Amino acid sequence: MEQLPNLHVGMGGWDLPPFEKVFYPPTERGFRKLRYYAQFFDSVEVNSTFYNCGFSPEQVNRWLDDVSDNPRFVFTVKLFRGFTHSYDVRREDYLAVLRTLDLIRKAGRLGGLVMQFPASFLNGPEERRYLSDLGKAFSAVRVFAEVRHNSWYSPLMLNFFQEAGLHLVNVDLPQIRRHMPFTSEAWGGAAYVRLMGRNAIAWEHPGRRSTAVPVETQERYFYLYSAAELMSIAETVRSLRSRGNETFVVFHNDPEAQSLLNGFQFRHLMTRRRVLVPDRLLRKFPGLAPLSVSVNVGHPLFATGPLTHAPAPGSPVRRSSNY
């Protein structure tokens, strides 16, 4: 795997349904998806911790064992939704999150904690106090805060995040509904770029059916970044890294595995070298072939399935989760 110092490119999870048929090989008993994933990427944002914070030490240690062959691999952990969406968190939930973070941190594999708030989380005195309290509660680790409403974006608020010990996530969203702009903010030696796609139609008209627009585009994360968009994002990432920041880039446009396609394209764009791509994914997206190293050709680890066609760059793709 071609490496760039202080740059981590990965997906918003590894056990995602769209990845099953195009990325992972036909599995047998005992197959570990994360072990396979870690051959191609050096980070992942753990999505399952958003839905459940009750992971046992044995489960977390299995994750750590899965990535043991990749010395650069790091996890960023998404905070349980009880803290960010339903606000019904209990003390035992907080302690469970701390245990998971501590296990990964002690193994030297923790990139940070990601707190993602919805666009309905507006800038106000109580909200600022709550963010500050969360920063203190998780001060033992690096904390990235994603806020989606642009009431949070001002020089005064950037100072607030720094004083609260929080790193601001540079989130890419459709520029509608007073969404945060796609920023390039970083301090304290760390930067986080979270790419959710730019499917404005689905955000503006959720669930609406139209004869002119495929039903799939109603889903918010149904999107494929074009080559020009990836180049622009790459410039932002280069700027962040040039300021000495350890930079995390996470693709969340997962439906139809377009996050994987864009992720490999982005790694090639940043390294300017061919990248290792599973042959199964090449068969789904043959446009990746010119970017891929020749080890894929007939390699028994990767070769599976019939050749299919890639979608046109810039076409939207589908997502079923509710980030």
Q: Hey, how many other C-beta atoms are within 10 angstroms of the C-beta on 321?
A: 17
- Dihedral Cα 113, 118, 124, 130, nearest 10 deg: -30
Q: Which domain holds residue 178?
A: 7-296
Confirm whether 312 is domain-assigned.
Answer: no
pLDDT in tens, 108-119: 999 999 999 999
Q: Mean of the pLDDT values across residues 285-302? A: 72
Confirm whether 321 is domain-assigned.
Answer: no
Confirm whether 271 is domain-assigned.
Answer: yes
Q: pTM of the prediction?
A: 0.88
- Cα–Cα distance between 268 and 202 in angstroms, integer? 29
List the CATH number of the domain containing 290.
3.20.20.410
72-76, 138-142, 189-193, 290-294: the lowest-pLDDT one: 290-294
Confirm whether 309 is domain-assigned.
Answer: no
- Cα–Cα distance between 6 and 147 in angstroms, integer? 24
Total domains in the chain come to 1
Q: Which residues lie below 8 Å from residue 53, measured CB to CB, with a gap of 6+?
A: 80, 82, 93, 96, 97, 100
Is the pLDDT at 90 greater than 70? The verdict is yes
Confirm whether 154 is domain-assigned.
Answer: yes
Confirm whether 317 is domain-assigned.
Answer: no
- Cα–Cα distance between 112 and 105 in angstroms, integer? 9
Confirm whether 15 is domain-assigned.
Answer: yes
